[in-house]
Amino acid sequence: MQQLPDLSTLSSTQMGALVLELWAVVQTLTAQNNELQARLNLNSRNSSKPPSSDGLNKPQPKSLRKAGQRPVGGQKGHKGHTLSQVAEPNVVVTHAPPEHCDVCHGSLGQASVVEARQVHDLPDLRYQVIEHRVLQWICNCGKTHRGAFPADVTTAVQYGPRAKAAAVHLNQYQMLPLKRTGQVMGDLFDMPMSEATILSANAEAAQVLAPTVAAIAQELVNQPIVHADETGLRVNKSLHWLHALVTEKLTWLGRHEKRGMTAFVEHGLLPLFKGTLVHDGWASYRRLGGRHSLCNAHHVRELTYVHEQLKQDWAGRSIKVLLSANSLIHQLRAQGQIDYAAPEHQLQVQVLRGLFEATLVEGDLLNPREQANGQRGRIKQSKAANLIGRLRDYSDDVWRFMTDPNVPFTNNVAEQAVRMPKVKQKISGCFRTSDGADIYCIIRSYLATLNKQGAKLFDALTQAFQGAPVQPRFG
Protein backbone atom coordinates (compact mmCIF):
# COMPACT_ATOMS: atom_id res chain seq x y z
CA MET A 1 0.00 0.00 0.00
CA GLN A 2 1.37 3.41 -0.98
CA GLN A 3 2.40 5.50 2.00
CA LEU A 4 0.94 8.96 2.55
CA PRO A 5 3.68 11.55 1.85
CA ASP A 6 4.81 13.98 4.52
CA LEU A 7 2.33 16.80 4.07
CA SER A 8 4.63 19.32 5.74
CA THR A 9 7.12 18.99 2.88
CA LEU A 10 4.58 19.58 0.10
CA SER A 11 4.19 22.87 -1.67
CA SER A 12 0.76 24.38 -2.19
CA THR A 13 0.78 23.16 -5.81
CA GLN A 14 1.67 19.61 -4.76
CA MET A 15 -0.93 19.75 -1.99
CA GLY A 16 -3.61 20.78 -4.50
CA ALA A 17 -2.63 17.97 -6.87
CA LEU A 18 -2.79 15.46 -4.02
CA VAL A 19 -6.26 16.66 -3.00
CA LEU A 20 -7.48 16.34 -6.60
CA GLU A 21 -6.02 12.86 -6.86
CA LEU A 22 -7.63 11.77 -3.59
CA TRP A 23 -10.92 13.31 -4.64
CA ALA A 24 -10.85 11.34 -7.89
CA VAL A 25 -10.23 8.13 -5.91
CA VAL A 26 -13.12 8.95 -3.57
CA GLN A 27 -15.39 9.57 -6.54
CA THR A 28 -14.38 6.26 -8.13
CA LEU A 29 -14.85 4.29 -4.92
CA THR A 30 -18.19 5.99 -4.25
CA ALA A 31 -19.42 5.09 -7.73
CA GLN A 32 -18.29 1.48 -7.27
CA ASN A 33 -19.94 1.30 -3.86
CA ASN A 34 -23.18 2.73 -5.25
CA GLU A 35 -23.15 0.21 -8.08
CA LEU A 36 -22.56 -2.73 -5.74
CA GLN A 37 -25.24 -1.47 -3.35
CA ALA A 38 -27.61 -1.10 -6.27
CA ARG A 39 -26.99 -4.71 -7.27
CA LEU A 40 -27.86 -5.83 -3.76
CA ASN A 41 -31.11 -3.84 -3.96
CA LEU A 42 -32.25 -5.49 -7.19
CA ASN A 43 -35.33 -7.67 -6.69
CA SER A 44 -38.40 -8.86 -8.57
CA ARG A 45 -40.14 -5.49 -8.10
CA ASN A 46 -37.49 -3.31 -9.73
CA SER A 47 -35.77 -5.62 -12.23
CA SER A 48 -36.29 -8.69 -14.39
CA LYS A 49 -35.20 -11.00 -11.59
CA PRO A 50 -37.84 -13.68 -10.87
CA PRO A 51 -39.64 -13.67 -7.50
CA SER A 52 -37.95 -16.96 -6.62
CA SER A 53 -34.58 -15.17 -6.53
CA ASP A 54 -35.69 -12.84 -3.72
CA GLY A 55 -35.09 -15.51 -1.10
CA LEU A 56 -36.26 -14.72 2.42
CA ASN A 57 -35.65 -11.00 1.91
CA LYS A 58 -38.74 -10.51 -0.21
CA PRO A 59 -39.73 -6.90 -0.97
CA GLN A 60 -42.91 -5.56 0.58
CA PRO A 61 -45.79 -6.08 -1.86
CA LYS A 62 -46.78 -2.82 -3.50
CA SER A 63 -49.52 -2.77 -6.11
CA LEU A 64 -49.31 -0.32 -8.99
CA ARG A 65 -53.11 -0.12 -9.15
CA LYS A 66 -54.81 2.94 -7.74
CA ALA A 67 -56.87 2.50 -4.58
CA GLY A 68 -60.53 1.90 -5.34
CA GLN A 69 -59.84 0.93 -8.94
CA ARG A 70 -61.53 -2.42 -8.41
CA PRO A 71 -64.13 -3.43 -5.80
CA VAL A 72 -63.30 -6.04 -3.18
CA GLY A 73 -64.11 -9.65 -4.06
CA GLY A 74 -64.98 -11.31 -7.36
CA GLN A 75 -65.01 -8.98 -10.35
CA LYS A 76 -67.94 -8.45 -12.70
CA GLY A 77 -68.19 -11.29 -15.20
CA HIS A 78 -66.12 -13.67 -13.08
CA LYS A 79 -67.57 -17.18 -13.14
CA GLY A 80 -68.08 -18.41 -9.59
CA HIS A 81 -67.55 -21.93 -8.30
CA THR A 82 -69.83 -22.01 -5.27
CA LEU A 83 -70.89 -25.50 -4.23
CA SER A 84 -74.61 -25.94 -4.89
CA GLN A 85 -77.18 -28.72 -4.78
CA VAL A 86 -77.83 -30.85 -7.86
CA ALA A 87 -81.24 -31.84 -9.18
CA GLU A 88 -80.46 -35.55 -9.50
CA PRO A 89 -78.29 -36.92 -6.65
CA ASN A 90 -76.56 -40.28 -7.19
CA VAL A 91 -77.60 -41.71 -3.84
CA VAL A 92 -80.54 -40.76 -1.60
CA VAL A 93 -80.50 -41.61 2.11
CA THR A 94 -83.74 -40.92 4.02
CA HIS A 95 -83.90 -40.18 7.73
CA ALA A 96 -87.41 -40.91 9.01
CA PRO A 97 -88.84 -39.86 12.39
CA PRO A 98 -90.07 -42.48 14.91
CA GLU A 99 -93.20 -44.45 13.91
CA HIS A 100 -95.10 -43.35 17.06
CA CYS A 101 -95.52 -40.01 18.82
CA ASP A 102 -93.50 -39.79 22.05
CA VAL A 103 -96.36 -37.81 23.71
CA CYS A 104 -99.64 -39.59 22.84
CA HIS A 105 -98.03 -42.75 21.45
CA GLY A 106 -100.25 -42.58 18.37
CA SER A 107 -99.12 -43.79 14.93
CA LEU A 108 -97.50 -41.01 12.82
CA GLY A 109 -98.39 -42.46 9.44
CA GLN A 110 -96.66 -41.42 6.19
CA ALA A 111 -93.84 -38.83 6.57
CA SER A 112 -92.95 -36.24 3.94
CA VAL A 113 -89.65 -34.60 2.95
CA VAL A 114 -89.26 -31.19 4.60
CA GLU A 115 -85.53 -30.51 4.06
CA ALA A 116 -82.69 -31.97 2.00
CA ARG A 117 -78.95 -31.61 2.45
CA GLN A 118 -76.35 -32.87 0.00
CA VAL A 119 -72.80 -34.09 0.60
CA HIS A 120 -70.48 -33.91 -2.42
CA ASP A 121 -67.81 -36.59 -2.09
CA LEU A 122 -65.64 -38.89 -4.17
CA PRO A 123 -66.59 -42.52 -4.81
CA ASP A 124 -64.24 -45.39 -4.10
CA LEU A 125 -61.29 -44.67 -6.39
CA ARG A 126 -59.78 -48.15 -6.44
CA TYR A 127 -58.87 -49.29 -9.93
CA GLN A 128 -60.78 -51.95 -11.82
CA VAL A 129 -59.38 -54.77 -13.93
CA ILE A 130 -60.99 -55.55 -17.29
CA GLU A 131 -60.13 -59.00 -18.62
CA HIS A 132 -60.37 -59.63 -22.35
CA ARG A 133 -60.91 -63.26 -23.30
CA VAL A 134 -60.54 -64.58 -26.81
CA LEU A 135 -62.80 -67.48 -27.78
CA GLN A 136 -62.28 -69.94 -30.56
CA TRP A 137 -64.38 -72.51 -32.36
CA ILE A 138 -63.40 -75.47 -34.48
CA CYS A 139 -65.67 -76.01 -37.43
CA ASN A 140 -66.85 -79.47 -38.39
CA CYS A 141 -64.64 -79.15 -41.44
CA GLY A 142 -61.66 -78.78 -39.13
CA LYS A 143 -60.89 -75.05 -39.57
CA THR A 144 -60.23 -73.10 -36.35
CA HIS A 145 -61.99 -69.75 -35.91
CA ARG A 146 -60.59 -67.43 -33.25
CA GLY A 147 -61.73 -64.06 -31.88
CA ALA A 148 -59.37 -61.04 -31.82
CA PHE A 149 -58.20 -58.73 -29.05
CA PRO A 150 -58.85 -54.99 -29.46
CA ALA A 151 -55.99 -53.20 -31.20
CA ASP A 152 -54.92 -51.39 -28.02
CA VAL A 153 -54.77 -54.58 -25.91
CA THR A 154 -51.30 -55.84 -26.80
CA THR A 155 -49.86 -57.61 -23.75
CA ALA A 156 -50.94 -60.03 -21.07
CA VAL A 157 -51.08 -57.25 -18.48
CA GLN A 158 -51.04 -53.51 -19.17
CA TYR A 159 -52.29 -50.14 -17.94
CA GLY A 160 -55.37 -48.61 -19.53
CA PRO A 161 -55.72 -45.14 -21.06
CA ARG A 162 -57.24 -43.52 -17.96
CA ALA A 163 -54.47 -44.84 -15.71
CA LYS A 164 -51.76 -43.55 -18.06
CA ALA A 165 -53.61 -40.24 -18.48
CA ALA A 166 -53.70 -39.76 -14.70
CA ALA A 167 -49.97 -40.44 -14.38
CA VAL A 168 -49.05 -38.05 -17.22
CA HIS A 169 -51.35 -35.36 -15.86
CA LEU A 170 -49.78 -35.55 -12.39
CA ASN A 171 -46.19 -35.69 -13.62
CA GLN A 172 -46.22 -33.34 -16.62
CA TYR A 173 -48.94 -30.82 -15.83
CA GLN A 174 -49.19 -30.87 -12.03
CA MET A 175 -45.37 -31.19 -11.94
CA LEU A 176 -45.04 -33.97 -9.37
CA PRO A 177 -41.66 -35.74 -9.52
CA LEU A 178 -41.64 -39.28 -10.91
CA LYS A 179 -41.38 -41.00 -7.53
CA ARG A 180 -44.15 -38.94 -5.96
CA THR A 181 -46.36 -39.46 -9.00
CA GLY A 182 -46.09 -43.23 -8.49
CA GLN A 183 -46.85 -42.80 -4.80
CA VAL A 184 -49.94 -40.64 -5.47
CA MET A 185 -51.21 -43.22 -7.95
CA GLY A 186 -50.91 -45.79 -5.19
CA ASP A 187 -52.49 -43.62 -2.49
CA LEU A 188 -55.46 -42.46 -4.57
CA PHE A 189 -56.19 -45.47 -6.77
CA ASP A 190 -54.33 -48.36 -5.08
CA MET A 191 -52.27 -48.52 -8.30
CA PRO A 192 -48.63 -47.62 -7.54
CA MET A 193 -46.51 -47.08 -10.66
CA SER A 194 -42.80 -47.38 -11.25
CA GLU A 195 -40.78 -44.46 -12.63
CA ALA A 196 -40.10 -46.44 -15.82
CA THR A 197 -43.84 -46.91 -16.39
CA ILE A 198 -44.52 -43.18 -16.00
CA LEU A 199 -41.66 -42.31 -18.36
CA SER A 200 -43.05 -44.76 -20.91
CA ALA A 201 -46.51 -43.17 -20.64
CA ASN A 202 -44.98 -39.70 -21.12
CA ALA A 203 -43.15 -40.83 -24.25
CA GLU A 204 -46.30 -42.45 -25.64
CA ALA A 205 -48.34 -39.30 -25.02
CA ALA A 206 -45.71 -37.11 -26.68
CA GLN A 207 -45.64 -39.33 -29.76
CA VAL A 208 -49.42 -39.12 -30.14
CA LEU A 209 -49.57 -35.36 -29.46
CA ALA A 210 -46.59 -34.28 -31.59
CA PRO A 211 -48.67 -33.71 -34.78
CA THR A 212 -51.17 -31.58 -32.84
CA VAL A 213 -48.39 -29.48 -31.32
CA ALA A 214 -46.87 -29.03 -34.78
CA ALA A 215 -50.25 -27.72 -35.94
CA ILE A 216 -50.30 -25.31 -32.97
CA ALA A 217 -46.86 -24.02 -33.99
CA GLN A 218 -47.97 -23.46 -37.58
CA GLU A 219 -51.09 -21.63 -36.43
CA LEU A 220 -48.96 -19.33 -34.28
CA VAL A 221 -46.84 -18.39 -37.30
CA ASN A 222 -50.00 -17.15 -39.01
CA GLN A 223 -51.31 -15.12 -36.07
CA PRO A 224 -51.27 -11.29 -36.26
CA ILE A 225 -49.85 -10.91 -32.72
CA VAL A 226 -47.62 -13.39 -30.89
CA HIS A 227 -45.79 -13.17 -27.55
CA ALA A 228 -42.26 -14.56 -27.21
CA ASP A 229 -40.02 -15.31 -24.26
CA GLU A 230 -37.20 -17.66 -23.30
CA THR A 231 -35.71 -18.96 -20.07
CA GLY A 232 -32.86 -21.17 -18.96
CA LEU A 233 -33.48 -24.92 -18.70
CA ARG A 234 -31.15 -27.38 -16.98
CA VAL A 235 -30.74 -30.54 -19.06
CA ASN A 236 -28.29 -33.19 -17.87
CA LYS A 237 -26.39 -30.54 -15.85
CA SER A 238 -26.02 -28.28 -18.90
CA LEU A 239 -27.75 -24.99 -19.67
CA HIS A 240 -30.34 -25.25 -22.44
CA TRP A 241 -33.08 -22.78 -23.30
CA LEU A 242 -36.85 -23.09 -23.26
CA HIS A 243 -38.45 -20.96 -25.99
CA ALA A 244 -42.10 -19.96 -25.81
CA LEU A 245 -44.47 -18.58 -28.43
CA VAL A 246 -47.97 -17.89 -27.16
CA THR A 247 -51.26 -16.10 -27.66
CA GLU A 248 -54.28 -15.88 -25.41
CA LYS A 249 -55.51 -19.24 -26.78
CA LEU A 250 -52.36 -21.06 -27.97
CA THR A 251 -49.07 -22.13 -26.37
CA TRP A 252 -45.98 -23.62 -27.97
CA LEU A 253 -42.81 -24.55 -26.06
CA GLY A 254 -39.55 -25.78 -27.54
CA ARG A 255 -36.10 -26.67 -26.19
CA HIS A 256 -32.77 -25.76 -27.74
CA GLU A 257 -29.11 -25.63 -26.72
CA LYS A 258 -28.92 -22.02 -27.90
CA ARG A 259 -30.81 -18.92 -26.84
CA GLY A 260 -30.69 -16.71 -29.93
CA MET A 261 -30.99 -16.73 -33.70
CA THR A 262 -29.61 -20.25 -34.15
CA ALA A 263 -32.50 -21.60 -32.08
CA PHE A 264 -35.02 -19.41 -33.93
CA VAL A 265 -33.84 -20.73 -37.30
CA GLU A 266 -33.73 -24.39 -36.30
CA HIS A 267 -37.18 -24.24 -34.71
CA GLY A 268 -38.35 -22.70 -37.98
CA LEU A 269 -41.11 -20.52 -36.56
CA LEU A 270 -40.04 -16.96 -35.76
CA PRO A 271 -38.22 -16.36 -39.09
CA LEU A 272 -41.55 -17.08 -40.84
CA PHE A 273 -43.62 -14.84 -38.56
CA LYS A 274 -44.61 -11.52 -40.15
CA GLY A 275 -47.00 -10.07 -37.57
CA THR A 276 -46.36 -8.07 -34.39
CA LEU A 277 -44.00 -9.79 -31.97
CA VAL A 278 -44.37 -8.85 -28.29
CA HIS A 279 -41.20 -9.44 -26.25
CA ASP A 280 -38.95 -8.04 -23.52
CA GLY A 281 -36.52 -6.24 -25.82
CA TRP A 282 -33.82 -8.91 -26.08
CA ALA A 283 -31.52 -8.07 -29.00
CA SER A 284 -31.98 -11.32 -30.95
CA TYR A 285 -35.67 -10.60 -31.46
CA ARG A 286 -34.67 -7.35 -33.16
CA ARG A 287 -33.01 -9.30 -35.95
CA LEU A 288 -36.36 -10.78 -36.97
CA GLY A 289 -38.69 -9.19 -39.47
CA GLY A 290 -42.12 -7.76 -38.81
CA ARG A 291 -43.13 -5.27 -36.17
CA HIS A 292 -42.25 -5.31 -32.48
CA SER A 293 -43.93 -4.37 -29.22
CA LEU A 294 -42.00 -4.10 -25.97
CA CYS A 295 -43.18 -5.34 -22.59
CA ASN A 296 -43.95 -2.31 -20.44
CA ALA A 297 -44.07 -4.38 -17.27
CA HIS A 298 -40.29 -4.65 -17.67
CA HIS A 299 -40.04 -0.90 -18.17
CA VAL A 300 -42.13 -0.19 -15.08
CA ARG A 301 -39.90 -2.45 -12.97
CA GLU A 302 -36.72 -0.80 -14.25
CA LEU A 303 -38.18 2.66 -13.71
CA THR A 304 -39.17 1.61 -10.20
CA TYR A 305 -35.52 0.79 -9.51
CA VAL A 306 -34.38 4.21 -10.75
CA HIS A 307 -37.10 5.95 -8.75
CA GLU A 308 -36.76 4.06 -5.46
CA GLN A 309 -33.08 3.13 -5.38
CA LEU A 310 -31.47 6.00 -7.28
CA LYS A 311 -33.99 8.54 -5.92
CA GLN A 312 -34.73 10.12 -9.30
CA ASP A 313 -38.24 11.57 -9.46
CA TRP A 314 -38.46 11.63 -13.26
CA ALA A 315 -38.73 7.83 -13.25
CA GLY A 316 -41.76 7.98 -10.95
CA ARG A 317 -43.47 10.40 -13.34
CA SER A 318 -42.60 8.10 -16.27
CA ILE A 319 -44.36 5.24 -14.49
CA LYS A 320 -47.45 7.38 -13.93
CA VAL A 321 -47.62 8.33 -17.62
CA LEU A 322 -47.30 4.71 -18.76
CA LEU A 323 -49.89 3.43 -16.29
CA SER A 324 -52.28 6.27 -17.12
CA ALA A 325 -52.00 5.41 -20.81
CA ASN A 326 -52.66 1.75 -20.06
CA SER A 327 -55.69 2.61 -17.93
CA LEU A 328 -57.05 4.86 -20.68
CA ILE A 329 -56.69 2.26 -23.42
CA HIS A 330 -58.32 -0.41 -21.23
CA GLN A 331 -61.25 1.89 -20.55
CA LEU A 332 -61.71 2.76 -24.23
CA ARG A 333 -61.49 -0.89 -25.31
CA ALA A 334 -64.00 -1.95 -22.67
CA GLN A 335 -66.42 0.71 -23.86
CA GLY A 336 -65.87 -0.18 -27.51
CA GLN A 337 -65.33 3.51 -28.22
CA ILE A 338 -61.87 3.45 -29.72
CA ASP A 339 -60.95 4.39 -33.26
CA TYR A 340 -57.18 4.17 -33.66
CA ALA A 341 -57.25 6.30 -36.81
CA ALA A 342 -59.40 9.06 -35.31
CA PRO A 343 -57.67 12.44 -34.85
CA GLU A 344 -58.87 12.60 -31.24
CA HIS A 345 -57.13 9.33 -30.36
CA GLN A 346 -53.96 10.26 -32.20
CA LEU A 347 -53.90 13.53 -30.26
CA GLN A 348 -54.21 11.62 -26.99
CA VAL A 349 -51.27 9.45 -27.99
CA GLN A 350 -49.18 12.50 -28.92
CA VAL A 351 -49.91 14.20 -25.62
CA LEU A 352 -49.00 11.13 -23.56
CA ARG A 353 -45.85 10.48 -25.56
CA GLY A 354 -44.90 14.12 -25.17
CA LEU A 355 -45.26 13.92 -21.41
CA PHE A 356 -43.22 10.72 -21.39
CA GLU A 357 -40.45 12.26 -23.52
CA ALA A 358 -40.31 15.24 -21.15
CA THR A 359 -39.52 12.89 -18.26
CA LEU A 360 -36.76 11.26 -20.32
CA VAL A 361 -35.24 14.67 -21.04
CA GLU A 362 -35.11 15.29 -17.29
CA GLY A 363 -33.54 11.87 -16.87
CA ASP A 364 -30.85 12.79 -19.42
CA LEU A 365 -29.72 15.66 -17.20
CA LEU A 366 -29.25 13.36 -14.21
CA ASN A 367 -27.74 10.50 -16.20
CA PRO A 368 -25.46 11.93 -18.91
CA ARG A 369 -24.05 9.40 -21.33
CA GLU A 370 -20.35 8.65 -21.02
CA GLN A 371 -18.39 9.84 -24.06
CA ALA A 372 -15.81 7.82 -25.96
CA ASN A 373 -12.27 8.34 -24.66
CA GLY A 374 -10.34 6.87 -27.55
CA GLN A 375 -10.70 3.25 -26.47
CA ARG A 376 -12.20 0.66 -28.79
CA GLY A 377 -15.64 -0.82 -28.16
CA ARG A 378 -18.80 0.53 -26.61
CA ILE A 379 -18.59 2.75 -23.55
CA LYS A 380 -20.26 1.29 -20.48
CA GLN A 381 -23.27 3.37 -19.45
CA SER A 382 -25.25 3.47 -16.23
CA LYS A 383 -28.42 1.40 -15.92
CA ALA A 384 -30.53 4.56 -15.97
CA ALA A 385 -28.80 5.91 -19.09
CA ASN A 386 -29.26 2.59 -20.90
CA LEU A 387 -32.93 2.51 -19.94
CA ILE A 388 -33.50 6.06 -21.20
CA GLY A 389 -31.78 5.23 -24.47
CA ARG A 390 -33.88 2.12 -25.00
CA LEU A 391 -37.15 3.91 -24.21
CA ARG A 392 -36.26 6.64 -26.68
CA ASP A 393 -34.70 4.53 -29.47
CA TYR A 394 -37.65 2.14 -29.56
CA SER A 395 -40.36 4.62 -28.65
CA ASP A 396 -42.81 3.32 -31.27
CA ASP A 397 -42.51 -0.21 -29.85
CA VAL A 398 -42.97 1.06 -26.29
CA TRP A 399 -46.23 2.78 -27.29
CA ARG A 400 -47.50 0.08 -29.69
CA PHE A 401 -50.26 -0.81 -27.22
CA MET A 402 -51.79 2.63 -27.82
CA THR A 403 -51.68 2.51 -31.62
CA ASP A 404 -52.29 -1.12 -32.61
CA PRO A 405 -55.54 -3.00 -31.81
CA ASN A 406 -55.13 -6.06 -29.58
CA VAL A 407 -51.49 -5.32 -28.71
CA PRO A 408 -51.27 -5.52 -24.90
CA PHE A 409 -49.35 -3.38 -22.44
CA THR A 410 -47.23 -6.30 -21.22
CA ASN A 411 -45.76 -9.62 -22.29
CA ASN A 412 -47.38 -11.39 -19.36
CA VAL A 413 -48.90 -14.29 -21.30
CA ALA A 414 -45.44 -15.36 -22.47
CA GLU A 415 -43.93 -14.93 -19.02
CA GLN A 416 -46.73 -17.07 -17.56
CA ALA A 417 -45.94 -19.78 -20.11
CA VAL A 418 -42.32 -20.08 -18.97
CA ARG A 419 -43.10 -19.74 -15.27
CA MET A 420 -44.45 -23.27 -14.74
CA PRO A 421 -41.44 -25.01 -16.32
CA LYS A 422 -39.26 -23.11 -13.84
CA VAL A 423 -41.49 -24.33 -11.02
CA LYS A 424 -41.13 -27.89 -12.32
CA GLN A 425 -37.35 -27.59 -12.20
CA LYS A 426 -37.45 -26.34 -8.62
CA ILE A 427 -39.65 -29.28 -7.61
CA SER A 428 -38.10 -32.09 -9.64
CA GLY A 429 -34.61 -30.83 -10.52
CA CYS A 430 -33.16 -30.75 -14.01
CA PHE A 431 -34.20 -32.90 -16.95
CA ARG A 432 -32.01 -35.98 -17.20
CA THR A 433 -32.00 -36.07 -21.00
CA SER A 434 -32.80 -33.75 -23.89
CA ASP A 435 -35.44 -36.26 -25.03
CA GLY A 436 -37.16 -35.91 -21.65
CA ALA A 437 -37.15 -32.13 -21.99
CA ASP A 438 -38.58 -32.37 -25.52
CA ILE A 439 -41.32 -34.71 -24.31
CA TYR A 440 -42.20 -32.22 -21.58
CA CYS A 441 -42.38 -29.36 -24.11
CA ILE A 442 -44.77 -31.30 -26.36
CA ILE A 443 -47.12 -32.38 -23.58
CA ARG A 444 -47.04 -29.00 -21.84
CA SER A 445 -47.72 -27.16 -25.13
CA TYR A 446 -50.78 -29.32 -25.75
CA LEU A 447 -52.20 -29.17 -22.23
CA ALA A 448 -51.55 -25.44 -21.78
CA THR A 449 -53.35 -24.74 -25.05
CA LEU A 450 -56.37 -26.87 -24.13
CA ASN A 451 -56.47 -25.33 -20.65
CA LYS A 452 -56.71 -21.87 -22.20
CA GLN A 453 -59.59 -23.11 -24.35
CA GLY A 454 -61.53 -24.55 -21.40
CA ALA A 455 -61.07 -28.27 -22.13
CA LYS A 456 -60.89 -30.95 -19.44
CA LEU A 457 -57.27 -32.03 -19.50
CA PHE A 458 -57.71 -35.50 -18.00
CA ASP A 459 -60.39 -36.39 -20.56
CA ALA A 460 -58.18 -35.01 -23.35
CA LEU A 461 -55.23 -37.15 -22.25
CA THR A 462 -57.47 -40.19 -21.99
CA GLN A 463 -58.62 -39.69 -25.57
CA ALA A 464 -55.00 -39.22 -26.64
CA PHE A 465 -54.10 -42.65 -25.23
CA GLN A 466 -57.13 -44.01 -27.07
CA GLY A 467 -55.63 -42.70 -30.31
CA ALA A 468 -58.02 -39.78 -30.85
CA PRO A 469 -56.59 -36.66 -29.11
CA VAL A 470 -58.84 -33.64 -28.70
CA GLN A 471 -57.83 -30.97 -31.21
CA PRO A 472 -57.54 -27.30 -30.15
CA ARG A 473 -59.69 -24.68 -31.81
CA PHE A 474 -57.93 -22.51 -34.38
CA GLY A 475 -59.14 -19.28 -35.90
Sign of the CA dihedral with 401 first, then 405, 411, and 416 last: positive
Q: What percent of the chain has pLDDT over 90?
A: 63
Ordered strands of the 291-294 beta sheet: 251-256, 238-246, 225-235, 276-279, 291-294
**What is each CA distance from 307 to 42, 135, 249, 364, 469, in whole angstroms?**
13, 80, 36, 14, 51
In the prediction, which pLDDT does 86 show? 92
Name which of 401, 380, 402, 383 is nearest 315 in CA terms. Answer: 383
Whether residue 24 has pLDDT greater than 80:
yes
Whether residue 443 has pLDDT greater than 80:
yes
In the prediction, which pLDDT does 318 show? 96
Whether residue 255 has pLDDT greater than 80:
yes
pTM for the whole structure: 0.83
Where residue 314 falls among pLDDT bands split at 50, 70, 90?
very high
In the prediction, which pLDDT does 123 show? 86
Lowest mean pLDDT among 90-99, 239-248, 461-470: 90-99
Whether residue 55 has pLDDT greater than 70:
no
In the prediction, which pLDDT does 312 show? 92
In the prediction, which pLDDT does 33 show? 82
Lowest mean pLDDT among 81-85, 234-238, 275-279: 81-85
DSSP state letters, 332-396: HHHHT---TTSHHHHHHHHHHHHHHHHHHHHHHHHSPPPPP-S-SSPPP--HHHHHHHHHHHTHH
User: What span, in angstroms and rounded, lies between the C-alpha atoms of 284 and 264?
Assistant: 9
In the prediction, which pLDDT does 411 show? 95
Whether residue 61 has pLDDT greater than 80:
no
In the prediction, which pLDDT does 211 show? 97
Q: Roughly what angle, to the nearest 10 degrees, separates helices 178-189 and 195-221?
A: 110
* Average pLDDT score over the chain: 88
Greater confidence, 375 or 463? 463
**What is each CA distance from 390 to 227, 283, 298, 321, in whole angstroms?**
20, 11, 12, 17
Where residue 332 falls among pLDDT bands split at 50, 70, 90?
confident
Lowest mean pLDDT among 7-11, 165-169, 423-427: 7-11
**Cα angle value 399/402/406 (rounded, 5°):** 115
Lowest mean pLDDT among 36-45, 213-222, 299-308, 378-387: 36-45
Whether residue 54 has pLDDT greater than 70:
no
